[in-house]
Amino acid sequence: MVSPILKTTNDSTPWQSGLQVTPADGANLVAPGADPLIPTRGLLIGGAGTVKVDMADGTTVTFTIPATACGFALPLAVRRVYATGTTATLIVAFY
């Protein structure tokens, strides 16, 4: 049995699910088998570049991931990863 995805903001349990992100300007990320309103608990960026996202609180943020930070999971509560404004590659969302 798969555990339900927890909705707390201070959840310290291990991440339970993940998906390869295809950035899209018009679609939110959706965890496998989950409510589409649940934000990510983290993003892993595999290739350097910029990432434009909608955060869980609705703000839109663009940040730059340098090559030295690639491969590290960032604890970000994200709802959408935009295609326009994102040049980073190999993005994985964790829930």
| Interval 34-70: pLDDT, tens | 777 789 999 999 999 999 999 999 999 999 999 988 8
Q: Can you give the pLDDT at residue 5?
A: 46
pLDDT for 8 beyond 70: no
pLDDT of residue 6: 45
CA-only gyration radius of the chain, Å? 13
Domain spans of the chain? 18-94
Strand partners, 54: 60, 80
Percent of the chain at pLDDT above 90? 63
Per-residue CA distances from 54 to 1, 12, 27, 28 (Å): 31, 22, 11, 9
